Copies of this chain bind each other. A is one copy, B any other.
């Protein structure tokens, strides 16, 4: 039994961590912080946790030592206090963006600010277990991937590693409203946000940097993301348009995915010839830690379309973090992450 605390527990990532960790048989949630809601029950903000816990939020300045600390703060906030946090726990899993990129210069170019702790960047392991399981096993510090980066990297990794596609990759991402966090604004106001198919970021998505970092070891890669917000609370689907290398056939793609993922508990290759769920769909992944991946080779236009889907708050955030915890402590990797998802939903 280990003790964990959550710094920044009133956001969606923090709530999702709680939802999972409260049912983890080897973990005791010690404290959850919120500056704004200190003293109030966590179920005030996360009403799904009524009856599951009596925890109250505490002020972050009162946080005690624990075995592992989850940091779920807005981007840019954890790097300023990470030195203090290191005194609170031997192990830290950061769910924000501050320690994902290994190079401070790349961070600066995408986030338009200096990194406050560049010397610590090399101590953090990028949190996708499917790519970095062995490093995570030994890591003290893990930086979980961005949700959009997670699904894109997992979908592309076997294609890139097995040299099946050319350098230029276009990621057309369909995004949900929970990705914009918990702060209301006119753009998230229900009458304005419901029913949209909104090109909120036709180019320039920051997760590009993570994808290029993780995949460029296998060769040059140019990644372009276009992000469209749709009427969905949870979930993320990427349609990735790539150009296959000469001679690549469907069986090569199957082989690459199987080679990398056949023993992965949270990855499913979804490519059916019948039924109505023939490709990955985020709808049925809500609440699960799965990343579903599919593909189609388009002979006429010489294209390989790869499709990936996740729940952005689970595999894309909190589930990924718990999976990393499981690996760090040698627990069964699927512990507390076995929910199969709902159908219909």
Contacts and interface: CB of A to CB of B under 8 A. Distances in A.
For A192, A226, A274, A305, the residue with the greatest tally of chain B CB atoms inside 10 Å of its CB is A192
Contacts of A219: none
Interface stretch (A74-82, A87-95, A336-344): A336-344
Interface stretch (A15-23, A118-126, A244-252): A15-23
Interface in A205-234: 208, 222-224, 226, 228, 230-234
Contacts of A305: 199, 202-203, 226
Contact of A199 (B202, B239, B275, B284): B239
A300 B48 contact: no
A298 B338 CA distance: 40
Interface residues of A, number: 95
Contacts of A19: 340, 342-343
Given A47-B343, A199-B307, A224-B298, A188 B187 contact: no
A259 interface: no
A223 B278 CA distance: 24
A144 B168 CA distance: 36
Given A197-B232, A341-B48, A342-B19, A12 B191 contact: yes
A142 B287 CA distance: 31
Nearest to A240: B226
A335 interface: no
Given A202-B298, A241-B226, A276-B192, A340 B284 contact: no
B190 A345 contact: no
Q: How many copies does the complex hold?
A: 4
A226 B202 contact: no
A114 interface: no
A200 B278 CA distance: 8
Interface string A292-303: 001111101101
Given A191-B182, A241-B170, A241-B241, A202 B344 contact: no
A52 interface: yes
Given A231-B230, A268-B51, A301-B224, A177 B202 contact: no
A136 to B, nearest CB: 22
Nearest to A49: B340
A235 interface: yes
27 contacts: A12-B344, A19-B340, A22-B340, A23-B338, A44-B274, A44-B275, A47-B281, A50-B268, A168-B301, A170-B241, A172-B226, A183-B189, A184-B188, A189-B190, A190-B190, A192-B276, A195-B232, A195-B233, A196-B283, A197-B281, A199-B280, A199-B294, A203-B305, A204-B298, A224-B300, A230-B230, A233-B345
Interface of A: 12, 15, 19, 22-23, 44-52, 168, 170, 172, 174, 177-178, 182-200, 202-204, 208, 222-224, 226, 228, 230-235, 237, 239, 241, 265, 268, 270, 272, 274-284, 286-288, 290, 294-298, 300-301, 303, 305, 307, 309, 338-345
